[in-house]
Each structure stands twice: as structure tokens, then as C-alpha cells.
Amino acid sequence: MGILVDGVWHDVWYDTKGTKGHFKRAASQFRNWVTADGSPGPTGTGGFKAEAGRYHLYVSLACPWAHRTLIFRKLKKLEDLISVSIVDPLMLENGWELNGKDGGTSDHLFGAKALWEIYVKADPHYSGRVTVPVLWDKQTGTIVSNESAEIIRMFNTAFDGLTGSKADFYPADLRGEIDALNERIYDTVNNGVYKAGFATTQEAYAENALRVFETLDMLDDRLATQRYLLGDRLTEADWRLFTTLVRFDAVYVGHFKCNIRRIADYANLSAYLGDLYQIAGIAETVDIEHIKKHYYGSHKTINPTGIVPAGPKLDFDRPHGRERLAKAA
Ligand SMILES: N[C@@H](CCC(=O)N[C@@H](CS)C(=O)NCC(=O)O)C(=O)O
């Protein structure tokens, strides 16, 4: 774990001294958009036209943010258009590495051994964290974006003319509601588990852990009467929640001490998790052993021995019975 300062790698852990023990996630810095015609997106500069074979994703199978992009690559039929390199599960003194170990691959583009080398190729003076996912442009040799929330929005529409995909996970009439729900779920669940897990004071931990469960309780109620978060349509909000739920019982309960309840204890959330997991192609994007190895093995301040727990037993393939909530067509 470390950061780049003016293009030079430094091995340092998150500093929570200035924030009363609270973990603060830094904003992503590469914010361009791939669009159908190469026109600029909501942020950044233009010139990134959707083309087959032009873009490459760097992901970790462990990372919930990177996982979103793999799910959208799958659901939007982009696997033949966008290639992928997978970092090794452990993130230690060199940050994310590409040694082709334990389910990771090599760097298919440059043979780089560490992800920070890719950031330096994009910007020799880059200062900041070196995070996954990264969407790389082979044509101009730079990073288009390292913000998963925006990469999935690009994937949702930009390549439709090439793939013929009509699935829309951010439909115009639901955007306001999706954005509002995303905001709460991001703050208290997706990032909330990290804020609890990386807290270095009792107060910071307690406050953030409680908020995780306030939101999970609310979501479990919401899912009692509707199949998905926004009703009978599956949207981006569901996939953003999914990547945290699928890691929750295996990692966040133990490693991040989010242990007031398990997802398995929530009747609706656990069935909903199975429902999403069983959608064609999704199970292939989930690697629980890789996920456990990353978290328990990489965060030595939380788990100094690096021992990976044997359990829990998970069964995302159980019949979920949620079809009964879908409206009759
Ligand atoms: N806002 C970013 C966050 C990405 C992120 O923080 N990824 C983590 C892995 S789960 C990472 O690469 N951390 C490395 C670090 O912070 O040094 C996104 O959603 O794309």
C-alpha cells in the first residue's frame, strides 16, 4: 500500500491522524469519458470514442469498485471489445502488482509489474493513490478514467452502437431516485464498511458501523415488497449494492468488524443477493477466495498475521423465491 508523489512510489499506509481516526477516501483524478462519438462527457476532455479493441481495464477481483466495471462489461456484452488485466490479490509494499499470481494475470499491454507504472505512463508527475479500476486507452496511451461510478455509466451506453445491447441500467425516468439512493448507499454501505474497518478510534468505528446497519435495515424493509431497489427494474443502484453485499459475510463482518448482523440474517437482503448472483454471467465475476485473500492478507494494521479465516459457508445459489415480487408483465 502506498502513494505516488510526483511520479515516485512511496510505501505508506492511510494517515488517519489528522481526521480523528476517520478513514477518508481520496477523489479519483482521471475523469474523462468514453462516448459513442468521442465528444466530451460530463467531465474531462473529449477524444475517447467507443471503438472495439481500443480500451483496456485494470481490475482487482477483490475490489468492490472494480467489480462494478466487470459486471457492466459482462451485462453490456463488452467482453470481446474491452480487454482486462487482473492484479494479484495481495496489495502490499508495491501496491497492486501484476505477477500473474493467485488468480491475477500479467499486464497484457506493457508487462508492468506494478499498477503504479501504468499511472506514471499516463502522467509522469502523478501524485496520489494508485487505485483500481483503471480504464486505459491504447490509442492515446493514457488513463481515460479511474472512477468506477463513471466507468459503469460509460459502459451502460457508449458502446451500444457496436454491441447492439439495449439493456439500460440508468434509465432517464429513474435517474433522480437512483442518484439519491446511490449517495446514501455509497456513504454508509459501500464506503461505510471501509470507514468502520479502517477507523483507528473506537468512536470513529462505532459511528460508522452503526450507520452501515441503519442503511441495511432500511434496505431490507424496502426489498420486502419489491424485487429490486427501484421496483421491478434492475438498475445501476442494485449492482453498486451487490458488490458490497456479496463480500459482506465473508469479509466485512469479520475483518472490518461490521458484525451487528450478517446479510444471512436479513431475509430480504439475503434472497435479493441470491437473485442478483444467479443472473447469467454474474457468478463468474465473483471469486470469494480471492476476495478473502486480499482483505485478510493485505491489511496488516488490522490483521497482522495475515491469516485468512476458513469460513463462513456461503450459498448464493439457493432458490431465492423473489420472482413472486415481479409485477405481472
Ligand atoms: N472511487 C474509486 C475508488 C477505487 C478504490 O479505492 N479502489 C481500492 C481497491 S478496493 C484501491 O485500489 N485502493 C488502493 C489504495 O487506496 O492505495 C472508484 O470507485 O473507482
- CB neighbour class for 311 (10 Å; exposed up to 12, middle 13-18, buried from 19): exposed
Q: Is 129 in the pocket of ligand 1 (CB under 6 A)?
A: yes
Q: In sequence order, what are the residues at sequence separation of 6 or more whose Cβ sits closer than 8 angstroms to the Cβ of residue 116?
A: 2, 4, 9, 94, 95, 96, 130
Q: Are residues 158 and 182 in the same domain?
A: no
Q: Is 75 in the pocket of ligand 1 (CB under 6 A)?
A: no
The total number of structural domains that make up the chain: 2
- CA 28–ligand 1 middle distance (angstroms): 8
- CA 65–ligand 1 middle distance (angstroms): 7
Q: Are 38 and 47 in contact (CB under 8 A)?
A: yes
Q: Are residues 150 and 180 in the same domain?
A: no
Give me the count of residues in the chain: 329
Testing ligand 1's pocket by substitution, the residue of 63, 118, 136, 144 carrying the most ligand atoms inside 8 A of its CB is 63
Q: Report the pLDDT value the prediction gives residue 329, as an integer from 0 to 100.
A: 42
Q: Are residues 118 and 244 in the same domain?
A: no
Q: Are residues 112 and 183 in the same domain?
A: no
Q: Is the peptide bond before 312 cis (omega within 30 degrees of 0)?
A: yes
Which DSSP letter does residue 73 get?
A: H
Q: Report the pLDDT value the prediction gives residue 328, as an integer from 0 to 100.
A: 46
Q: Considering Cα of 107, then 283, then 291, then 26, what sign does the dihedral take?
A: positive
- CA 130–ligand 1 middle distance (angstroms): 7
Known binding-site residues for glutathione equal: 96, 129-132, 147-148
Q: Is 198 in the pocket of ligand 1 (CB under 6 A)?
A: no
Q: Whose CA is nearest to atom 5 of ligand 1?
A: 131
What is this model's ipTM? 0.98
Cα 210 off chain centre by: 22
Last residue of a domain, one of 102, 130, 163: 163
Q: Are 2 and 10 in contact (CB under 8 A)?
A: yes
Testing ligand 1's pocket by substitution, the residue of 86, 93, 132, 252 carrying the most ligand atoms inside 8 A of its CB is 132
Q: Report the pLDDT value the prediction gives residue 108, as an integer from 0 to 100.
A: 96
Q: Are residues 213 and 81 in the same domain?
A: no
Neighbours of 283 (CB within 10 A): 13
Q: Are 145 and 122 in contact (CB under 8 A)?
A: no
> What letters, b where the CB count within 10 A reaches 16 and e where it falls short, cover 184-221?
ebbebbbbbbbbbbbbbeeebbeebbebbbebbeebbe
Residue 285 falls within a domain, yes or no?
Answer: no
Cα 16 off chain centre by: 23
Residue 298 falls within a domain, yes or no?
Answer: no
Q: Report the pLDDT value the prediction gives residue 265, as an integer from 0 to 100.
A: 98
Q: Are residues 148 and 236 in the same domain?
A: no
- Domain containing 18 equals 3-163
Q: How confident is the prediction along the chain (329 residues), in pLDDT tens digits per residue?
A: 799 999 999 988 767 777 787 878 778 899 999 999 999 999 999 999 999 999 999 999 999 999 999 999 999 999 999 999 999 999 999 999 999 989 999 999 999 999 999 999 999 999 999 999 999 999 999 999 999 999 999 999 999 999 999 999 999 999 999 999 999 999 999 999 999 999 999 999 999 999 999 999 999 999 999 999 999 999 999 999 999 999 999 999 999 999 999 999 999 999 999 999 999 999 999 999 999 999 999 999 999 999 999 999 999 999 999 999 976 44
Distance CA 97, CA 111 (A): 11
Q: Is 199 in the pocket of ligand 1 (CB under 6 A)?
A: no
Q: Is 148 in the pocket of ligand 1 (CB under 6 A)?
A: yes
Work out which ligand 1 atom sits closest to the CA atom of 147.
Answer: 20
**Could you list the active site residues?**
63, 194
Work out which ligand 1 atom sits closest to the CA atom of 132.
Answer: 12
Distance CA 182, CA 240 (A): 8
Q: Report the pLDDT value the prediction gives residue 3, as an integer from 0 to 100.
A: 94
Q: Report the pLDDT value the prediction gives residue 1, as an integer from 0 to 100.
A: 79
Last residue of a domain, one of 163, 190, 225: 163
Q: Is 131 in the pocket of ligand 1 (CB under 6 A)?
A: yes
Q: Which amino acid is at 19?
A: T
From residue 10, alpha-carbon distances to 90, 110, 127, 150, 187 in Å are 17, 22, 10, 28, 28
CATH of the domain at 133: 3.40.30.10
**pTM of the entire structure?**
0.96
Main-chain phi, psi angles of 320, to 5 degrees: -105, -20
- CA 150–ligand 1 middle distance (angstroms): 13
Q: Is 134 helix (H, G, I), strand (E, B) or coil?
A: strand
Main-chain phi, psi angles of 116, to 5 degrees: -60, -25
Distance CA 242, CA 67 (A): 10
Q: Is 94 in the pocket of ligand 1 (CB under 6 A)?
A: no
